[in-house]
Structure formats: C-alpha cells, structure tokens
A = this chain, B = another copy of it.
Amino acid sequence: MDNKLTVYNSKSRKKEVFEPINPGHAGMYVCGPTVYNEVHLGNVRTFVSFDVIFRYLKYLGYKVRYVRNITDVGHLTDDTEEDKILKRAKLEQLEPMELVQKYSNMFHEMMNIFNNQSPDVEPRATGHLIEQIEMVQEICDNGFAYEQNGSVYFDTLKYNEKYKNYGKLSGRKIEELFTETREDLKNQEEKRHASDFAIWMKANDEHIMKWNSPWSVGFPGWHLECSVMSTKYLGETFDIHGGGNDLKFPHHENEIAQNVGARGVEPAKYWLHANMLLMNGRKMSKSDGNTISPYELFSGDSPHVSKGYTPMAIRFFMLQSHYRSTLDLTDLAMQGAEKGFKKLMEAASELKKMEYTGNESITEHDKNINDILDSMVEDMNDDFNTPKAIADSFELVNYINKLKDKHMTFDEISKSTFEKMKTTFLTFVYDIFGFCDESAGQDNSQFSGMVELLITIRNGARNNKDWATSDLIRDKLLDLGIQLKDSKEGTSWSKS
C-alpha cells in the first residue's frame, strides 16, 4: 500500500498531500470554546472531528502537538456587541472569572464524556495578555493598524494593498467588504473601513476584565488571541489550523491578516473546517425551539427524540458522516446509530476473546480481509473519511460474527491475517474512532440478569419444597445487600 494522507485545505479549496513542516512532527491548533455557557452539540461535533484527526495523526506515527485554546476574555463577534462573558456573568451574578471557571469545568467534563483526548496545551486568552499587546505593537509598527481614542484597529485596506490576500480563505469579495455602506458601521465610527476590526479595545467603566496597555486600559480583540497562542506554541508557521466552518470569516481571515501583518508569514499551512450539525433538516436555533443540548440528548428529555442516547452512540452517529459534510440529527438516525454502535462494539468484544485455532490455509477470504484492512487506512488517508472507514469496518464485523457463529472456521484464513485483523480492527475502534465500552450499562444488565436467574431458581426450589436452596438464595442475597420481596404478583427485589 503506497497511500499518503491527503487533507482538504479550505484555503486552496482542494485536497493536498499532507507534508508537515518538520518531518515526523505535526502541529495542530483548533479554536476552542468561549466559556460563557454550556457547550453546544454542534461544538461537540467539531471537537469530536478534530479529536479523530488528532488520534489518526498519532496512529500514522507523527509526534503531534495539539493546541486548543480557551477563550476566557471578552468575546465580541462584532466590535459593537456586548461582551458575552460579562453579560452572562451579570445574569448569573458571578464574577467573570467565576463564570469562566464554571463553564470551563463543564466543558472539560463534556469532552471526557465524549472520550475526546485532552490537547497537549490548552492556553487561555487571559494567560497571554503581554504577548497579545506585543503583537498589537508589532502590527502598529508595521503600519497596518491605527489608534482611535485608545482603541486600535487593523487597517484591512492598507494590509490588502500590500498582501492582496484578505478574504481569500473565506472567498469573500474584498471590494464588497470594503464598500459596505457607512450604515453597516453602526456606532463603529472609529473605524476607517467597514472591514477593519479591533485588535485592542478601550474598556468602558463597567468593564471588569481589562488590562493596562500602551493605548488604554482595555482588552484584546477576539481574533488576536489565536494569532498569538497558535504561533507561541507551534511556531510562526505550523501545519494544521482547525475550527468550525462558522469561524472562517471573520475569525480565521483576521487571524491570517494579523499574523502576516505582524510577522510577514501566514500561520498555518493547512486550514481544516468542520461543518455544521443540523437538526431535523434545519439549523439548530434556540429561538424557534429547534435545538437540543447534549444532556437532553443523553436523557431523552426533549420533544425531538423518543428516548435518550449514550455519548458513544452519539459519537458513532457523528463519525458516520464526514466532518466536512453537514450532519442532520434526527431521532431515526440516532436509533440507527445506536444499533450500529452496539453491533460494532459487540464484534470488538468477541474479537478480543478470539484466539486463532486454524490450520494456516490461505483462501480468498485472506485477500478480502487484507483488502478491507488496507481500505480502512485509505479511507482515513482520504481526508479522514470516517463514514467510509466505519462502513469498511462493518465488513469485518461480518467476518467476526461468522467466526463466532461457526459459519466460518479459522481454517479458512491464515493466522497472520487473523492477527492483523484483530490488531487493526481494535485499533480503529478504540484508538482512532475513539469509542469506549459503555460497560456500566452492561454491568447493570448482568447484575439484574443474575438476580432474575436466582429468583427463577428459588421459585423452582420452592415448588419442589427444597427449602434449603430457597432459603440459601434469600439469605445470601440479603448478606450481599439485595432484598427479595414476595407478593401475589411474584418476587421483586431491591438493593439496600
């Protein structure tokens, strides 16, 4: 197999062979959450997508450094809006940093629930104020920013005159951005052009999160932190920059402008964007009720689903679609994903126990299995095509089930093929797709299954007047903290 990893680069709008800047190493920066509320399911999808990319790069043998930030200082999607963290802090009557703490904790918990691996560095915007101020200064020194009343704005027109790349990533027509009417500026009179954006903002009196700077007591523009933290931990130019599709413009466009404006080089070689999560064919939106939170989806406490689904079934559902495609959440699709996930994990569990007991013959099955295994790697090499890799892995599920059910014997494949299948299948399921056994549920059904079995045996013993056995079961269960209760309706049990 001579197959190389290709990734779809949003910048070139085509698939490119992945050639890291430092051979053997891969640096990846992904825009993390703004911690002012509970993480949305759409964000979870983005972080699951990049978790699989992180895992697959490691599988390929790269020494990966994965950096994902936490935005814990004012996040203003445009420069006029109210600071989301402050707004929510007021609402919850918390100090901004208390709010940030609360939602960071919840975010980390959610990432654990979905079995996403922790990034290697998780820098915070508040941890890089000095570096941000320094970058504003660099941009000013290079003539691509201007100060107005203590705020500093990036001069997109002047920048584009020199670099001619503003809008390229997102495919915006630069002329349209520049010629937006003055009305669109709203109360942003300080800007020279509609497309300019704040890199430092003077704080008003009510603003709590603010710092000293050469221009004013204020705070950095939202786009700045990623320009600073990505390059601080990954170098001036690194391999992969990822994020949700909605960040392409203005966030990533402005990141590029800032890095180039300050240091003359673009930050990332490959730009990867994860697509949106829809529900019932439409954009999720709180205002029209077409939304569901992760916890609602776990519990089933929502009009949009008939029941709850486990985090791993949801992860399976997400990976059944390519990260660059929109994904439509429906109850029916979730039911299918739940079944599929169960089938996959049952096969993994069977395979773990299987030992080769055949006679080393090589048949057409050998070739077929090896083709499937190659194909799974090719799928992933093709811009991380998880839906195809999952579909291929289900062909192996068929083989595993045939072996289990004795519809096929080990004599029909060679030992090396079996061992390769075992290793690769389990590696894909656990290490690359990142599924884990949701055994708590399994244990519970085993638990109640055993109690039911004991009740059945006890009933039999009582019918036979075998009081010794019947008493043994009741007393021993009581010792174990399990109480049987006999009534006309039969025997019920409870844990004490």
A residues sitting closer than 8 Å to B (CB atoms) are: 65, 94-95, 97-98, 101-102, 105, 108, 118-124, 126-131, 134, 211-212, 233, 349-350, 353, 442-443, 445-447, 449-451, 453-454, 456-457, 460, 469, 472-473, 476-477, 479-482, 495-496
Q: Looking at the complex, which one of B101, B129, B480 makes contact with A130 (CB distance below 8 Å)?
A: B129
Q: Supply 20 further A-B pairs (C-beta < 8 A) apart from A101-B122, A442-B481.
A: A95-B121, A98-B121, A101-B118, A101-B121, A102-B120, A124-B124, A130-B130, A131-B211, A349-B496, A443-B447, A446-B447, A446-B481, A446-B495, A449-B476, A450-B450, A450-B454, A450-B482, A453-B476, A454-B454, A460-B469
Chain B residues in 8 Å Cβ range of A212: 130, 134
Known: A95-B121, A121-B95, A130-B129. A450 touches B105 (CB 8 A): no
Considering only CB atoms, which chain B residue lies closest to A112 in the complex?
Answer: B109
Known: A130-B211, A212-B130. A480 touches B101 (CB 8 A): no
Q: Looking at the complex, which one of B101, B129, B350, B442 makes contact with A119 (CB distance below 8 Å)?
A: B101
Please, could you name 18 A-B residue pairs with CB atoms under 8 Å apart, sorted by A? A98-B120, A105-B118, A108-B108, A124-B124, A130-B130, A130-B211, A131-B211, A349-B496, A443-B447, A446-B447, A447-B450, A450-B477, A450-B480, A453-B473, A454-B454, A456-B472, A457-B457, A457-B472
Q: Looking at the complex, which one of B95, B108, B131, B211 makes contact with A233 (CB distance below 8 Å)?
A: B95
Q: Looking at the complex, which one of B101, B134, B447, B454 makes contact with A453 (CB distance below 8 Å)?
A: B454
Q: Looking at the complex, which one of B127, B449, B457, B482 makes contact with A446 (CB distance below 8 Å)?
A: B482
Q: Are A480 and B95 in contact, CB atoms less than 8 angstroms apart?
A: no
Give 3 closest A-B pairs by Cβ, nearest first: A127-B127, A126-B127, A449-B480
CB distance from A439 to the nearest CB of B (A): 9
Most buried by B among A95, A105, A119: A95
Most buried by B among A121, A447, A451: A121
Chain B residues in 8 Å Cβ range of A211: 130-131
Chain B residues in 8 Å Cβ range of A120: 94-95, 98, 101-102
Cα–Cα distance between A108 and B479 once the two chains are bound (Å): 37
Considering only CB atoms, which chain B residue lies closest to A451 in the complex?
Answer: B450
Chain B residues in 8 Å Cβ range of A130: 129-130, 211-212
Cα–Cα distance between A478 and B445 once the two chains are bound (Å): 13
Q: Are A447 and B447 in contact, CB atoms less than 8 angstroms apart?
A: yes
Considering only CB atoms, which chain B residue lies closest to A128 in the complex?
Answer: B126
Chain B residues in 8 Å Cβ range of A124: 124, 127
Chain B residues in 8 Å Cβ range of A469: 457, 460
Cα–Cα distance between A121 and B209 once the two chains are bound (Å): 14
Q: Are B95 and A65 in contact, CB atoms less than 8 angstroms apart?
A: yes
Cα–Cα distance between A353 and B473 once the two chains are bound (Å): 22
CB distance from A438 to the nearest CB of B (A): 13
